[in-house]
Chains A and B, each alone.
Chain A
Amino acid sequence: MTSIRATNLTKRYGRTAAVADLSFAVEPGRVTGFLGPNGAGKSTTMRMLLGLDRPSDGSALVDGKPYQEWKHPLRKVGALLDAKAVHGGRSARNHLLAIAQSNAIPARRVEEVLETVGLREVARRRIGGFSLGMSQRLGIAAALLGDPETVIFDEPVNGLDPDGILWIRTFMRGLAAEGRAVFVSSHLMSEMAQTADHLVVIGKGRLIADTSVREFIGRSSQGYVRVRSPRLPEVAELVRVGELHPDHLRVTAMTPLEIGTLAARAGLPLEELTFVQPSLEAAYMELTKDSLEFSA
């Protein structure tokens, strides 16, 4: 059962297309990372999914219907786009209460979500005085009000301290473990590496990859073996195919066992012999290189 399905989704502003012919699906029970450099069209796509922006072409469906056609959309989808986009003069409780009432969600649910995100103590305070971390939690509370099957977060860890980042990461994993579909955008590959199961990667508004994290890494350049030794130049000469760096040797064409065997035969001591997985970051940079070059 697919939660969100974008089909040939397109958004044009004048002649430029912010999002072009984008098709992908978000499935329940996993975290789908929505990845792309800044300006790739992630937020525009999310706004179209949520009925805020009108697609120029194509469609975005939530459980088979456009978002706007759900009577109580917050019971289907909860979203956090911009945590600071709230009226600062309201208390956290009243802010959530107004949102809850609009979707016929009982008021006790407000207390529940305040508890869940740890804001119960400050429920009566004006939200204008909240820190970014607290605002982020308030935004998440609002997204959870309708107990939705799908949640959408736009760059949720931006600007947060390590504690806040860890909290959100754990939280998103928890939501997916409960069987919800979690769709989260980021421009940071390293962030996605730690949270996402599946990736939708876009660049310049176009789909670059729609794949599992593991496959995404596999698709890009291979890993390499890092060799350190007090007699590095001699090791380099022995291996021949390596790329010599000041403090280590980088070998792509041989396995650690082959290198170790060669070194042992020559009686050369090794300090380190590690197979280095290509990082998601590297895979991402390689795949989005083209779209970045065009925009530069």
Chain B
Amino acid sequence: MIDIIRSEWTKIRSVRSTVWTLAITALLMVGLGALLSGSAASSAEGPIDPVSATRISLNGIMLASMATATLGVLVISSEYRTGGIRTTLMAVPRRLKLLAGKIIVFTAVALAVSMAASLASFLIGQAILDGAALGDPGTVRAVTGTGLYLTACGLFGLALGALIRHTPGAIVSAVALILVLPPLTNGLPGRWGQVVRDHFTSNAGMELPFPSDANQLGPWSGFGVYLAWIAVVLVVAAVLMRRRDA
């Protein structure tokens, strides 16, 4: 397994798309956070409460999640696009081990960058806003939760990439599932509508960094539900990957 991890690490670090998507993740987090913090600071009448201040400085999360999801997709779909997957599978014919290797390396890289970007945007935002400190209640959860959420979105992309094996198709699916469909569930009526809305992908996942009173799931159970979505797609992708011809 360590051989596969080494090999996947070489692969992920040696293409430009990795550098680009990770740079964009960091830029969106820090840039948007600083921008929104700046405008909030200039328009605020009084001091901003720590919870709002934290949210403002981490507001790049929605767009940044698209960047990590894109990288997740590319980690696997670019191999199918170029046909390089056949070279890869000739070297590592045990496909589940290969998928596991890709997941491990991607998670490590995405987690490191997402956490750093989240912490940086919080610190820069608070330097501008002077609203929250890491010691305030819920702040550490919001900052680490943002990093975890961004990483999870990347894994969602990787799972969709492995399932769909086609870059544009997988990216569109990721955007739909993470960004477009979740708000649409607001229109669902009744108690079951509420259950679907609470549990729907990023509605549940965003509970970790930014819990909302409207959602009945707590931060960690919400994030757990989001991980379950990702796990289901990964399992389907893994089963198909084993059976399909490359």
**A74, A87, A103: which contacts B15 (Cβ < 8 A)?**
A87
Evaluate whether A74 and B14 lie within 8 angstroms (CB atoms) in the complex, with A53-B245, A85-B82, A101-B7 already known.
no
Q: Are A89's CB and B16's CB within 8 A? A: yes
Q: Are A67's CB and B93's CB within 8 A? A: yes
Which candidate, A90-98, A185-193, A239-247, is the interface stretch facing chain B?
A90-98
Q: Are B83's CB and A104's CB within 8 A? A: no
B79 within 8 A of A: yes
Which residues of the other chain, A, contact B86 by a CB distance below 8 angstroms? 47, 52, 81-82, 85
Report the separation of the CA atoms of residues A69 and B243 in the bound assembly, to the nearest whole angstrom. Answer: 16
Secondary structure dominating the interface of B: helix
Q: Are B82's CB and A73's CB within 8 A? A: no
Q: Are B246's CB and A98's CB within 8 A? A: no
**B4, B10, B16, B246: which contacts A53 (Cβ < 8 A)?**
B246
Q: Indicate the member of A68, A85, A87, A99 with the most B CB atoms within 10 Å.
A: A87
B87 within 8 A of A: yes
Report the separation of the CA atoms of residues A73 and B4 in the bound assembly, to the nearest whole angstrom. Answer: 13
B91 within 8 A of A: yes
Which residues of the other chain, B, contact A88 by a CB distance below 8 angstroms? 82
Interface positions, chain B 65-89, Cβ under 8 Å from A, are 78-79, 82-84, 86-89
Count CB-based A-B contacts (< 8 Å).
85
Report the separation of the CA atoms of residues A100 and B92 in the bound assembly, to the nearest whole angstrom. Answer: 11
Q: What count of chain A residues pass the 8 Å CB interface test?
A: 33
A142 within 8 A of B: yes
**B3, B17, B246: which contacts A101 (Cβ < 8 A)?**
B3
Chain B 1-30, CB within 8 Å of chain A: the 1/0 string?
Answer: 001101110110011110000000000000
Q: Are A98's CB and B11's CB within 8 A? A: yes
Chain A 136-166, CB within 8 Å of chain B: the 1/0 string?
Answer: 0000001000000000000000000000000
Evaluate whether A85 and B87 lie within 8 angstroms (CB atoms) in the complex, with A47-B245, A53-B245, A68-B93 already known.
yes
Q: Are B7's CB and A89's CB within 8 A? A: no
Which residues of the other chain, A, contact B88 by a CB distance below 8 angstroms? 102
Q: Indicate the member of A82, A102, A103 with the most B CB atoms within 10 Å.
A: A102
Evaluate whether A101 and B82 lie within 8 angstroms (CB atoms) in the complex, with A53-B246, A73-B93, A90-B14 already known.
no
Report the separation of the CA atoms of residues A101 and B88 in the bound assembly, to the nearest whole angstrom. Answer: 11
Report the separation of the CA atoms of residues A166 and B223 in the bound assembly, to the nearest whole angstrom. Answer: 60
Which residues of the other chain, B, contact A89 by a CB distance below 8 angstroms? 14-17
A224 to chain B, nearest CB (A): 45
Q: Indicate the member of B11, B83, B94, B246 with the most A CB atoms within 10 Å.
A: B11
Q: Are A86's CB and B90's CB within 8 A? A: no
Which residues of the other chain, B, contact A91 by a CB distance below 8 angstroms? 14
The residue of chain B having its C-beta at the shortest distance from the C-beta of A66 within the complex is B93
A58 within 8 A of B: no
Interface positions, chain A 250-291, Cβ under 8 Å from B, are none
B168 to chain A, nearest CB (A): 17
**B3, B14, B84, B90: which contacts A51 (Cβ < 8 A)?**
B90
Q: Are B91's CB and A51's CB within 8 A? A: no
Q: Are B79's CB and A52's CB within 8 A? A: no
The residue of chain B having its C-beta at the shortest distance from the C-beta of A85 within the complex is B83
Report the separation of the CA atoms of residues A98 and B11 in the bound assembly, to the nearest whole angstrom. Answer: 6
Q: Are A52's CB and B89's CB within 8 A? A: yes
Q: Are B91's CB and A102's CB within 8 A? A: yes
Which residues of the other chain, A, contact B93 by a CB distance below 8 angstroms? 50-51, 67-68, 70, 73
Give B contacts to A, CB under 8 Å.
3-4, 6-8, 10-11, 14-17, 78-79, 82-84, 86-94, 243, 245-246
Give 19 new A-B contacts, CB below 8 A, not counting A87-B11, A90-B14, A103-B3: A47-B245, A50-B93, A54-B243, A54-B245, A67-B93, A68-B94, A73-B90, A81-B90, A85-B82, A91-B14, A95-B14, A98-B10, A98-B11, A99-B87, A99-B91, A101-B3, A102-B7, A103-B91, A104-B3
Q: Which 6 A-B pairs have the closest CB atoms?
A: A85-B83, A102-B7, A94-B14, A68-B93, A101-B7, A98-B10
In the complex, 11 of the A-B residue pairs with CB atoms within 8 angstroms, ordered by the A residue number, are: A51-B93, A68-B93, A82-B83, A87-B79, A87-B84, A89-B17, A90-B14, A101-B3, A101-B6, A102-B88, A103-B91
